[in-house]
Chain A
Amino acid sequence: GESVGLHLPTLSVQEGDNSIINCAYSNSASDYFIWYKQESGKGPQFIIDIRSNMDKRQGQRVTVLLNKTVKHLSLQIAATQPGDSAVYFCAENTGNTGNQFYFGTGTSLTVIP
Chain B
Amino acid sequence: GAVVSQHPSWVICKSGTSVKIECRSLDFQATTMFWYRQFPKQSLMLMATSNEGSKATYEQGVEKDKFLINHASLTLSTLTVTSAHPEDSSFYICSAREGGAGANVLTFGAGSRLTVL
Contacts and interface: CB of A to CB of B under 8 A. Distances in A.
B43 interface: yes
A42 B109 CA distance: 8
Given A89-B43, A105-B43, A46 B107 contact: yes
Interface of B: 4, 6, 32, 34, 36, 41-46, 49, 59, 93, 95, 97, 104-111, 113
Interface in A31-61: 32, 34, 36, 41-46, 49
Given A34-B105, A49-B105, A99-B104, A44 B44 contact: yes
- Among A42, A43, A98, A101, chain B packs the most CB atoms within 10 A around the CB of A43
A43 B43 contact: no
Determine chain B's interface SS by DSSP, over half rule. strand
Contact of B108 (A45, A98, A106): A45
B93 A101 contact: no
A99 B78 CA distance: 19
Contact of A43 (B32, B45, B104, B109): B109
A43 B93 contact: yes
A93 B34 CA distance: 13
B110 A43 contact: yes
Nearest to B1: A46
Nearest to B97: A99
Interface string A92-113: 0101001111111110100000
B93 A99 contact: no
Interface string A58-98: 00000000000000000000000000000001010101001
Nearest to A49: B105
